[in-house]
A and B are shown apart, each in its own frame.
Chain A
Amino acid sequence: MLRYLITRVGLVVPSFFGLTLLTFAMIRLIPGDPVEVLAGERGMSPERHAEMMARLGLDQPVLTQYATYLGNLLSGDFGISIVTRTSVLEEFLTLFPATIELSVAAITIAVAIGLPAGILAAVRRRSVLDHGVMAVSLTGYSMPIFWWGLILILVFSVELGLTPVSGRISAFFWVEPVTGFLLIDSLLSDEAGAFGSALHHLVLPSIVLSTLPLAVIARMTRSAMLEVLGEDYIRTARAKGLGAGRVIGLHALRNALIPVVTVIGLQMGVLLAGAILTETIFAWPGIGKWLVESIHRRDYPALQGGILLVASTVIMINLMVDLLYGLLNPRIRHQR
């Protein structure tokens, strides 16, 4: 296991290295040099331009610049946003809990519905139920999320008036940010009804965000279950006279869950990106909405730092999923 751990963690290092190269190159690939980008529409005299280039270290050789960039990153300096003049890391950390809250709610819904649906479809293979689950999940898999969100708003918020249209909590409440997770903070605060309001705001966005992972988890669970149900030991268990519930729930599910757990973990990374669209539709103040706004405001340092931070988070999540997979499945960690 230790050897597996070391090799797997070792693989992450070049990924991070490549990632920093990408974000470093990105800001230089955008048309115009960074100072012109900083100056924006206003323009700048040649002297001031040269002075700014020197101050930002842009007159140095590219390799030196990259070394400086890496050094800054290692000391926790992810750049300064042009628009808000605050540190990118600080902005990221302020907004990140909102995205995590949304993603966790979405993955909870996806697992709670997708897992049983996949198991049922596999057990009742080729039944109406199986075809129904597969049809619905393929539709969910093909869904343009931004449109789906709008349709749900139209039905549940506009027509039925059941859910709020946007935001994280009603404007009537003021909740002291302690953890950044509104569901927790609203419970800690004295405001009566704040928790209900936060939960109310969370329902529709998390359903929208859960659509894609739900479809993937249902499909994956079904195929993993089908594979396991065809194994000899399942036949043996049945032949021993064990009840269907015990065979499926205990013998089959345990082994089928191994690949499913991986898929669920990998979906967490997908969710962070999927949140870009969901947050934009619901005006959810998280990382996704922030990144899109940074592009539109031409706030390239924020975009550069934000992408690096989001991608690093995804790499770390994937690493943890892989390690967990190795822990669950001995066959993986003994390969090579």
Chain B
Amino acid sequence: MASSTRASATSAEAAPPPHPLVEAWHYFRQNRGAVIGLVVIIAIALVALGADLIAPHSPIAQDRGALLLPPVWDDGGTWRYPLGTDDIGRDMLSRLIHGARLSMLIGVIAVTLSLATGLTLGLVAGYVGGMVDLVIMRLMDVMLALPALLLAIVVAAILGPGLFNVMIAVAIVVLPHYARLTRASVLAELPRDYVTASRVAGAGHLRLMVLVILPNCMAPLIVQATLGFSTAILDAAALGFLGLGAQPPTPEWGTMLSSSLQFLQRAPWVVTFPGLAILITVLAFNLLGDGLRDALDPRLKR
């Protein structure tokens, strides 16, 4: 009994530590919500990729004989339009499927843009320090002082409405978060021995910044980027709802919602479904982000 415990204890000590990714996956898998979030996101991504194949109709094809048709489970609904039609006879399901593509695209581009810019600014501010740091971080502070949606509205008003401008507006809004996170991580890594060792070994500034320090700052940035997807999708939909985002007939979920507002009472499904789609997607990304934070943040590991 005693010898077997000791034997298992020594074998556990002898085993090499698992790869960090394997370890992270181990913690991640235990979080049921995070796994559900990941599955939902993969499903939405597949739908977005295969939109042309999956959608039963074109997202902009109008059927004059089927205006404001209810979903199939309501009286008068048909299997031809499972989730009903909107006010000019477009298939809701097909529009939602194509909307998934737009929302994922908004998420990917907005997160990439803000991550790339914020990361560069934060890296430079943290590594160079001094006046450069001061100027960059004060600018970020001003941007953070403006409420996110208000800043997005200002940018959208300057650039004019449209899908691509929305992505830029949303990216600018979340940029300071990445800059601050990166800078904080860089400042924490700079005094470490491995950095000094690389510097003594003759590594140049660029090599130190990008190859030596940056990889060790990635964990909080990955979490923030995942949560950034939900912010981007939510803010883009809000801008679409206010008429400052993607313009009709683009099947963006927020835009769909705002253009069918007057049918709220007569045909609640034209408002309900796009909103549900936004909620489910954003919720999935938040679940995933929370799970990643628990899995990647060593402070929370037990």
Interface positions of A (Cβ within 8 A of B): 11, 14-15, 18-19, 22, 26, 29-31, 135, 138-139, 141-148, 150-151, 153-154, 158, 269-270, 272-274, 276-277, 280, 291-292, 295-296, 303, 307, 310-311, 314-315, 318
Q: In the bound complex, do residue B279 and residue A318 qualify as a contact, i.e. CB atoms below 8 Å apart?
A: no
Q: Specify which chain B residues have a CB less than 8 angstroms from the CB of A276 in the assembled complex.
A: 149-150, 153, 242
Q: Which of B142, B149, B268, B279 contacts A22 (CB 8 A)?
A: B142
Q: In the bound complex, do residue B145 and residue A30 qualify as a contact, i.e. CB atoms below 8 Å apart?
A: no
Shortest beta-carbon distance from B259 to chain A in Å? 13
Interface flags for B205-245 (1: CB within 8 Å of A; 0: not) read: 00000000000000000000000001000100110011110
Task: With A31-B160, A142-B230, A142-B286 as known contacts, state yes or no: A147 contacts B278, CB within 8 Å.
Answer: yes
Task: With A144-B234, A154-B268, A296-B243 as known contacts, state yes or no: A272 contacts B147, CB within 8 Å.
Answer: yes
Task: With A15-B145, A19-B142 as known contacts, state yes or no: A144 contacts B238, CB within 8 Å.
Answer: yes
Q: Specify which chain B residues have a CB less than 8 angstroms from the CB of A141 in the assembled complex.
A: 286
Q: Specify which chain A residues have a CB less than 8 angstroms from the CB of B290 in the assembled complex.
A: 138
> Which of A31, A148, A295, A310 has the most chain B CB within a 10 Å cutoff?
A295
A-B contact pairs, 23 of them (CB 8 A): A18-B142, A22-B154, A26-B154, A26-B158, A30-B158, A138-B287, A142-B279, A144-B237, A144-B275, A146-B238, A150-B257, A151-B271, A151-B275, A153-B264, A154-B271, A273-B148, A274-B147, A291-B150, A296-B243, A303-B154, A303-B157, A311-B145, A311-B146
Complex Cα spacing A296 to B243, Å: 9
Shortest beta-carbon distance from A233 to chain B in Å? 21
Q: Specify which chain B residues have a CB less than 8 angstroms from the CB of A158 in the assembled complex.
A: 264-265
Complex Cα spacing A135 to B160, Å: 37
Number of residues of chain B lying within 8 A (CB) of chain A = 42
Shortest beta-carbon distance from B246 to chain A in Å? 15
**What are the 10 tightest A-B residue pairs by CB atom distance, in nearest-first order?**
A273-B147, A147-B275, A18-B142, A142-B283, A142-B282, A144-B278, A146-B241, A273-B149, A273-B150, A29-B158
Q: Specify which chain A residues have a CB less than 8 angstroms from the CB of B52 in the assembled complex.
A: none
Within B150-183, the residues touching A (CB, 8 Å) are 150, 153-154, 157-158, 160
Task: With A31-B160, A154-B265, A310-B150 as known contacts, state yes or no: A295 contacts B282, CB within 8 Å.
Answer: no
Complex Cα spacing A29 to B159, Å: 8
Shortest beta-carbon distance from B300 to chain A in Å? 10
> Which of B157, B243, B272 has the most chain A CB within a 10 Å cutoff?
B157
Interface flags for B96-130 (1: CB within 8 Å of A; 0: not) read: 00000000000000000000000000000000000
Q: In the bound complex, do residue A146 and residue B257 qualify as a contact, i.e. CB atoms below 8 Å apart?
A: yes
B23 contacts the other chain (CB 8 A)? no
Q: Specify which chain B residues have a CB less than 8 angstroms from the CB of A291 in the assembled complex.
A: 150, 153
Q: Given contacts A11-B141, A31-B160, A310-B147, could you give 15 more A-B pairs where the C-beta distance is less than 8 Å?
A: A15-B138, A18-B138, A19-B146, A26-B154, A29-B158, A138-B290, A141-B286, A146-B257, A147-B278, A154-B265, A274-B149, A276-B149, A295-B153, A307-B154, A311-B146
Q: In the bound complex, do residue B150 and residue A30 qualify as a contact, i.e. CB atoms below 8 Å apart?
A: no
Q: Specify which chain B residues have a CB less than 8 angstroms from the CB of A147 in the assembled complex.
A: 257, 271, 274-275, 278-279
B43 contacts the other chain (CB 8 A)? no
Complex Cα spacing A112 to B263, Å: 35
Q: Which of A18, A139, A153 contacts B283 (CB 8 A)?
A: A139
Shortest beta-carbon distance from B281 to chain A in Å? 9
> Which of B138, B139, B154, B234 has the most chain A CB within a 10 Å cutoff?
B154
Complex Cα spacing A335 to B238, Å: 40
Q: Which of B33, B149, B244, B271 contacts A295 (CB 8 A)?
A: B244
Q: Specify which chain A residues have a CB less than 8 angstroms from the CB of B150 in the assembled complex.
A: 273, 276, 291, 307, 310-311
Complex Cα spacing A280 to B257, Å: 14
Shortest beta-carbon distance from A148 to chain B in Å? 8
Quick one: closest B residue to A11, CB to CB?
B141
Quick one: closest B residue to A19, CB to CB?
B142
Shortest beta-carbon distance from B126 to chain A in Å? 18
Complex Cα spacing A280 to B286, Å: 26
> Which of A30, A144, A270, A315 has the most chain B CB within a 10 Å cutoff?
A144
Within B66-86, the residues touching A (CB, 8 Å) are none
Complex Cα spacing A157 to B286, Å: 31
Q: In the bound complex, do residue B147 and residue A150 qualify as a contact, i.e. CB atoms below 8 Å apart?
A: no
Q: In the bound complex, do residue B147 and residue A314 qualify as a contact, i.e. CB atoms below 8 Å apart?
A: yes
Quick one: closest A residue to B156, CB to CB?
A295
Q: Which of B264, B282, B286 contacts A144 (CB 8 A)?
A: B282
Shortest beta-carbon distance from B253 to chain A in Å? 8
Complex Cα spacing A323 to B154, Å: 29
Quick one: closest A residue to B147, CB to CB?
A273
Shortest beta-carbon distance from B247 to chain A in Å? 13
Q: Specify which chain B residues have a CB less than 8 angstroms from the CB of A292 in the assembled complex.
A: 153, 242
Complex Cα spacing A322 to B13, Å: 48
Q: In the bound complex, do residue A277 and residue B147 qualify as a contact, i.e. CB atoms below 8 Å apart?
A: no
Q: Which of B142, B149, B158 contacts A277 (CB 8 A)?
A: B149
Task: With A303-B157, A311-B150, A314-B146 as known contacts, state yes or no: A151 contacts B272, CB within 8 Å.
Answer: yes
Q: In the bound complex, do residue A315 and residue B145 qualify as a contact, i.e. CB atoms below 8 Å apart?
A: yes
> Which of A26, A139, A147, A273 has the most chain B CB within a 10 Å cutoff?
A147
Shortest beta-carbon distance from A25 to chain B in Å? 9
Q: Specify which chain B residues have a CB less than 8 angstroms from the CB of A19 in the assembled complex.
A: 142, 145-146
Complex Cα spacing A296 to B153, Å: 11
> Which of A303, A311, A318 has the most chain B CB within a 10 Å cutoff?
A311
Shortest beta-carbon distance from A282 to chain B in Å? 13
Q: Specify which chain A residues have a CB less than 8 angstroms from the CB of B141 in the assembled complex.
A: 11, 14-15, 18
Shortest beta-carbon distance from B111 to chain A in Å? 17
Q: Specify which chain B residues have a CB less than 8 angstroms from the CB of A303 in the assembled complex.
A: 154, 157
